[in-house]
């Protein structure tokens, strides 16, 4: 009887895989027939290949997802090449592959419930604001984006279950950073700003100090400040791999990643990027004082990079001294700072008027002009964003939204801290270093978010998802230790 049941199940699985293969073949043939654009067809073929690889090895799907999100591949394919959306379909297919392996092979996903519940609560808070938002359509669109990011979070937490996988994810991110940063450096050295390199090296001409204008790199996003943000949070990963990677060639690759990521941050001319970069480097040195050899490597790379720092960048950074004790705060002399101050004051006034629930998710821009006229600092007659994540959350979702968001971040960072302590106590320095780097990356993102709002939130949720998965990594690493702490 048992043999017969096993035979029936085996036959059923073969039939299922055959039907799935047939369906994919028919769909691929249809798309080949109806897609005249070679580039679109290439993207479709790559998408099918990525899905097939992900079903066969879910970890590879995780690495592809990390690389795809970080390079903004899907949006670039749509905007610059007219290709169909890749990211949304890939995440759905990845979750489908996880479900298939759960049903067929009993590979039950572990450690994802807390992340799913946290995201569900935050989504409910933002969705509730649709009921009273001045522009509910904006709120619904923003909630839809948040739901998509929640799926990414859940997929990452499910798939990131060991130190080995974490190491590979770190390298997937660093490879993405090397790809983007190297393009940026090459674009700067060759002065080829008229070439966006298929959309991965966008830039714009902007005023820096007074009437002085120059090219500011924007990477795959097109916005210099956000590009600085996504590159600076890769610096902790690069520093950790420089210190702890045993393979000599991979250490050289980590040095390359460190150099081009820092170089890209500099070429954005972003002041907020510089402040956050100083914070993450400082935190990494506080966590782990490197030996003389590694310290000399980092100092040497930094000295070399200093030789290429544009004079406009140092002049722009000097404006930050106006906020130090004794500095002259002439807001009207710097339009960018004046605008940021206006946006902060507007957000705080919105919060004062709507302290509990806010004005509605993604509705800050709708109210900006109404409050900006009261503040009287910003002459621009256009919609503006808060340029401060926390003020944005306060203004749009009130104390309720900020409390939920803060609790998610707090418990995630607390688990990271406990995990690092346990790993170091057991001598697992390599995994501990990577987990610590994840924490520093999240803190760096939070610091930089004091100066920018949540426009490209998928990057934040990707890093936070990796941080949320840290208990899974610690559990797998500590599986042979009886004193392992219950983090979740």
User: How does residue 297 score in pLDDT terms, banded at 50, 70 and 90?
Assistant: confident
> Is position 319 within any domain?
yes
The average pLDDT across 467-487 equals 72
Q: Name the residue among 152, 159, 147 with its Cα closest to residue 74.
A: 152
167 and 225 together in one domain: yes
Q: Is residue 187 part of a domain?
A: yes
pLDDT band of residue 107 (cuts 50, 70, 90) is: confident
Instruction: Give me the pLDDT at residue 159, please.
Output: 92
**Residue pLDDT, tens place only, 39-71:** 555 656 666 666 666 666 788 889 989 999 999
Same domain, 135 and 261: yes
Residue 117 covered by a domain: no
203 three-class SS: strand
Write out the DSSP string of 360-405.
Answer: -TT-HHHHHHHHHHHH------S----SSHHHHHHHHHHHHHHHHH
Q: Which of 52, 80, 108 is the last residue of a domain?
A: 108
What integer is the mean pLDDT of 391-416?
96
**Chain segment 119-178, per-residue pLDDT in tens:** 999 999 999 998 999 999 999 999 999 999 999 999 999 999 999 999 999 999 999 999
| CA separation for the pair 85, 5 (Å, rounded) | 42
Q: How high does pLDDT run on average in the chain?
A: 83
pTM: 0.86
* CB contact set of 397 (below 8 Å; sequence gap of 6+): 125, 126, 129, 357, 358, 361
Positive or negative torsion for Cα 352, 358, 363, 366: negative
Q: Structurally, how many domains does the chain consist of?
A: 2
Same domain, 64 and 104: yes
Domain assignment of residue 332, yes or no: no
Are residues 282 and 189 part of one domain?
A: yes
Indicate whether 242 and 135 sit together in one domain: yes
Of 140-154, 308-322, 387-401, the least confident: 308-322
**Better pLDDT: 205 or 193:** 193
- pLDDT for 486: 45
Average pLDDT over residues 415-426: 92
> What pLDDT was estimated at residue 431?
94
Classify the C-alpha dihedral 318-321-322-327 as positive or negative: negative
3-class secondary structure, 74: helix
- List, in order, residues 6 or more apart from 404 with CB less than 8 Å away: 121, 122, 125
> Does 34 share its domain with 129?
no
Instruction: State whether 153 and 263 are in the same domain.
Output: yes
Nearest partner of 191 among 203, 180, 200, judged by Cα:
203
Mean pLDDT on 242-254: 93
422 plus 300 within the same structural domain: yes
| Full residue range of the structural domain in which residue 97 is found | 2-108
What percent of the chain has pLDDT above 70?
78
Who wins on pLDDT, 21 or 60?
60
Same domain (yes/no): 14, 103: yes
CA distance linking residue 107 with residue 99, whole number of Å: 9
Among 95-99, 105-109, 124-128, 161-165, the minimum mean pLDDT is found in 105-109
Q: Residue 257 pLDDT > 60, yes or no? A: yes
> Average pLDDT, stretch 335-347?
80
pLDDT for residue 324 is more than 70: no
CA 282 – CA 276 distance, rounded (Å): 10
Whole-number pLDDT of residue 294? 72
pLDDT above 90 covers a percentage of the chain that reads: 51
pLDDT higher than 70, residue 33: no
C-alpha span between 209 and 269 (Å, rounded): 11
How far, in whole angstroms, is CA 244 from its chain's centroid?
23
Same domain, 177 and 235: yes
* CA 353 to the chain's CA centroid: 32
Quick one: average pLDDT of 443-472? 92
In a domain, 194, yes or no: yes
393 occurs within a structural domain: yes
Task: Residue 468: name the closest of 420, 389, 413 by CA.
Answer: 413
Tell me which of 173-187, 434-448, 468-482 is least confident: 468-482
Q: Give how far Cα 44 sits from Cα of 7, 41, 207, 247, Å.
A: 36, 5, 40, 36
Is 488 contained in some domain? no
- Give the contacts of 485 (CB within 8 A, at least 6 positions apart): 418, 422
208 and 103 part of one domain: no
Q: Is the pLDDT of residue 32 over 70?
A: no
User: Among 85, 108, 131, which residue terminates a domain?
Assistant: 108
* 232, pLDDT greater than 90: yes
Choose one of 62, 84, 108: the last residue of a domain.
Answer: 108
Nearest-5° Cα angle at 243, 237 to 246: 105
What is the average pLDDT across 192-200? 93
Q: For residue 144, how far is the Cα from the chain centroid? A: 18
Element (H, E) at 177: helix 163-190
State yes or no: pLDDT of 482 exceeds 50.
Answer: no
Q: Are residues 69 and 178 in the same domain?
A: no
Count of C-beta atoms within a 10 Å radius of residue 341: 17
Say if 151 falls within a structural domain: yes
pLDDT at 226: 94
């Amino acid at each position: 009887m048992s043999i017969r049941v096993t035979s029936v199940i085996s036959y059923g699985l073969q039939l299922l895989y055959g039907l799935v293969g047939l369906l994919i073949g028919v769909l691929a043939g249809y798309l080949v027939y109806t897609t005249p654009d070679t580039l679109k067809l290439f993207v479709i073929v790559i998408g099918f290949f990525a899905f097939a690889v992900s079903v066969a090895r879910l970890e590879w799907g995780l690495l592809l997802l990390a690389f795809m999100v970080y390079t903004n591949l899907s949006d670039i394919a749509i905007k610059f090449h007219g290709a169909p959306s890749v990211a949304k379909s890939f995440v759905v297919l990845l979750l489908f592959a996880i479900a298939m392996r759960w049903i067929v092979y009993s590979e039950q996903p572990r450690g994802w419930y807390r992340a799913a519940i946290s995201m569900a609560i935050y989504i409910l808070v933002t969705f509730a604001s649709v009921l009273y938002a001045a522009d509910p359509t904006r709120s619904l669109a923003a909630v839809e984006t948040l739901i998509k990011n929640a799926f990414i979070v859940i997929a990452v937490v499910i798939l990131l279950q060991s130190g080995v996988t974490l190491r590979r994810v770190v390298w997937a991110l660093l490879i993405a950073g090397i790809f983007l940063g190297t393009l940026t450096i090459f674009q700067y050295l060759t002065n080829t700003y008229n070439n966006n390199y298929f959309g991965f090296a966008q830039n714009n001409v902007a005023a820096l100090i007074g009437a002085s204008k120059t090219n500011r790199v924007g990477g795959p996003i097109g916005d210099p400040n956000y590009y600085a943000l996504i590159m600076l949070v890769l610096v902790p990963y690069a520093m950790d791999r420089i210190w702890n990677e045993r393979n000599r060639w991979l250490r050289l690759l980590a040095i390359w990643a460190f150099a081009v990521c820092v170089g890209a941050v500099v070429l954005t001319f972003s002041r907020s990027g510089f402040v956050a970069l100083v914070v993450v480097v400082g935190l990494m040195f506080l966590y782990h004082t490197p030996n003389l050899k590694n310290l000399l490597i980092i100092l040497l790379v930094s000295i070399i990079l200093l030789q290429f720092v544009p004079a406009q960048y140092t002049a722009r950074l000097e404006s930050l001294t106006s906020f130090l004790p004794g500095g002259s705060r002439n807001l009207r002399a710097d339009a960018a700072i004046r605008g940021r101050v206006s946006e902060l004051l507007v957000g705080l006034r919105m919060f004062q008027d709507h302290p509990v629930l806010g004005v509605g998710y993604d509705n800050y821009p709708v109210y900006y002009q109404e409050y900006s006229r009261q503040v009287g600092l910003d002459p621009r007659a256009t919609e503006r964003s808060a340029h401060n994540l926390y003020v944005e959350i306060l203004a749009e979702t009130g104390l309720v939204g900020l409390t939920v968001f803060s609790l998610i971040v707090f418990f995630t960072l607390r688990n990271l801290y406990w995990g690092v302590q346990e790993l170091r106590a057991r001598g697992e320095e390599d995994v501990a270093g990577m987990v610590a780097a994840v924490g520093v990356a999240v803190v760096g993102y939070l610091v930089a978010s004091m100066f920018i709002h949540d426009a490209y939130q998928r990057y934040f949720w990707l890093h936070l998802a990796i941080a949320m998965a840290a208990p899974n990594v610690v559990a797998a690493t500590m599986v042979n230790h009886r004193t392992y702490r219950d983090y979740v």
